[in-house]
C-alpha cells in the first residue's frame, strides 16, 4: 500500500518569492524572516487527520535535508518547529500511533519561514504498518530503487550491494526486508529468505506477496507443514497469483499426504503455466497416482515425454511410466 495522499496548498508572502518546489504531499506557506541575513530556515509543521482536525496524539517528525537526517522532534498539540541553518530540499517524515505514516517535501533557496501541513490517514484493522513500506528517507529510497531495478535485471551482486545499503539506512522497513528475501530466494539461500520474510509477514500479515515468498522459502527447505499456512493465506488474499505459489502449495500438500488438495492446486498451477513447466506436470501426475487415477497420470506423463523428452523431467516421466506398468497400474505401451 502506498502512503496516504496528502494535499498541497502553496502560498507566497508579500516579499519576492524564493525558488520553491513542493511535491503533492503537504500544504505549505512561505514568509520571509525579518532581519534574517544568513541561511536560517524556520519550518513550522502542523499534523492534521483526514478531516482536517489537528492530530492530538503525539507524533514523531524526522526532518531530512538533501536526503540526510538533520533533526527530529515530537509534536505538541499537533505542531513542531525546526530551525535549520542551511538551504536545500527538506523532507519531513511523520509517524503517529494509530495513523499511517505520511511525509512532506519542499525545497527552499532563500532564508524564509515555511509553514507545512501534513495530513495523516488513520490505520484500519488488519492493515497496520502496510503503508510504512513507502515512507523512506530519500537516500534509503534511492538505494532501495537501485536494488529493485538490479533484481529485475537479474544483477544479483549489484542488487545485494544496493539492498545492504538500504538496510543500513532503514533496517526495519518491510519493503527493504521483502526485497532482501526475494534476493535470497534468487540466490537459493532459503534460510536467509525465510528469516527476512518472516519479519515482513509479522509487520504486514496481509501481504500476499510476502506470504507467498515465505511459503516458497519453507517449501524449498522441505518444511512442508510450515509452508502450508502462509501459502494458503496468500492465495486467499490473491487467488490470481502465478503458478509458482500454486505449485509450492500443491507440493506441500502432497508431502503432507493431502493428495486430493495437492491434485486440485497442482492442476491450477498447470493451467497457469500453460503446460510449459515440466515440474508442474510431474506433480500433477504424482497427485493423480496418489488418488488412484493411474491412466490419467499416464496420460499426463506421456504428454510430458512428448513435449519435454530431452530434459531431466522427461527421463523421470519415462521411469514413472515404466514403474506404473510394472506394478500393473496401466497397460504397457511402447516407450515414447
Which is it for the CA torsion 157, 161, 167, 173, positive or negative?
Answer: negative
The C-alpha cell 493428495 sits at: 259
The predicted-structure confidence for 114-161, as pLDDT tens digits, reads as follows 888 888 877 543 333 333 445 678 888 899 989 999 988 899 999 999
Alpha helix stretches (DSSP H) within 174-258: 174-186, 190-203, 208-220, 224-237, 243-255
The predicted-structure confidence for 269-283, as pLDDT tens digits, reads as follows 999 988 889 999 999
The pTM assigned to this predicted structure is 0.62
Residue ranges, CATH 2.60.40.10, the chain: 10-133
Domain boundaries 10-133, corresponding CATH code: 2.60.40.10
The predicted-structure confidence for 303-317, as pLDDT tens digits, reads as follows 999 998 888 999 999
Please name the fold of domain 135-326.
Answer: 1.25.40
Q: What does the DSSP 8-state code read for residue 99?
A: B
- List, in order, residues 6 or more apart from 136 with CB less than 8 Å away: 144, 166, 169, 170, 173, 175, 176
Residue ranges, CATH 1.25.40.10, the chain: 135-326
Q: Taking the CA of residue 314 as centre, how many other CA atoms within 13 Å lie in the half-sphere pointing to its CB?
A: 11
Alpha helix stretches (DSSP H) within 65-125: none
For residues 173 and 242, give the distance between their C-alpha atoms in angstroms, rounded to a whole number: 26
Amino acid at each position: 500500500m502506498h502512503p496516504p495522499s496528502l494535499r498541497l496548498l502553496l502560498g507566497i508572502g508579500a516579499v519576492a518569492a524564493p525558488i520553491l518546489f513542493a511535491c503533492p504531499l503537504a500544504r505549505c506557506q512561505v514568509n520571509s524572516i525579518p532581519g534574517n541575513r544568513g541561511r536560517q530556515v524556520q519550518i513550522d509543521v502542523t499534523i492534521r487527520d483526514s478531516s482536517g482536525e489537528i492530530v492530538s496524539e503525539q507524533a514523531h517528525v524526522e526532518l531530512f535535508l538533501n536526503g540526510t537526517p538533520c533533526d527530529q522532534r515530537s509534536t505538541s498539540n499537533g505542531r513542531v518547529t525546526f530551525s535549520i541553518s542551511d538551504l536545500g530540499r527538506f523532507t519531513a517524515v511523520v509517524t503517529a500511533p494509530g495513523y499511517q505514516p505520511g511525509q512532506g517535501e519542499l525545497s527552499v533557496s532563500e532564508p524564509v519561514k515555511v509553514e507545512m501541513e501534513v495530513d495523516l490517514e488513520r490505520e484500519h484493522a488488519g492493515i497496520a504498518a502496510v503503508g510504512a513500506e513507502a515512507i523512506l528517507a530519500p537516500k534509503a529510497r534511492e538505494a532501495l530503487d537501485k536494488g529493485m531495478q538490479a533484481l529485475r535485471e537479474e544483477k544479483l551482486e549489484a542488487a545485494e550491494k544496493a539492498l545492504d545499503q538500504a538496510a543500513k539506512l532503514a533496517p526495519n522497513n518491510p519493503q527493504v526486508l521483502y526485497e532482501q528475501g526475494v534476493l535470497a530466494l534468487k540466490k537459493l539461500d532459503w534460510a536467509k529468505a525465510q528469516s527476512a520474510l518472516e519479519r515482513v509477514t509479522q509487520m504486514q500479515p496481509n501481504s500476499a506477496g510476502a506470504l507467498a515468498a515465505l511459503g516458497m522459502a519453507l517449501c524449498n527447505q522441505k518444511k512442508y507443514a510450515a509452508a502450508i499456512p502462509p501459502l494458503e493465506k496468500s492465495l486467499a488474499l490473491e487467488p490470481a497469483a502465478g503458478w509458482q505459489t500454486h505449485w509450492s502449495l500443491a507440493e506441500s500438500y502432497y508431502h503432507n499426504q493431502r493428495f486430493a488438495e495437492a491434485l486440485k492446486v497442482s492442476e491450477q498451477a498447470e493451467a497457469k503455466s500453460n503446460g510449459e513447466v515440466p515440474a508442474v506436470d510431474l506433480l500433477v501426475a504424482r497427485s493423480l497416482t496418489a488418488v488412484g487415477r493411474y491412466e490419467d497420470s499416464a496420460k499426463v506423463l506421456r504428454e510430458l515425454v512428448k513435449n519435454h523428452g530431452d530434459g531431466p523431467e522427461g527421463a523421470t516421466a519415462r521411469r514413472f511410466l515404466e514403474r506404473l506398468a510394472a506394478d500393473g497400474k496401466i497397460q504397457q505401451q511402447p516407450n515414447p
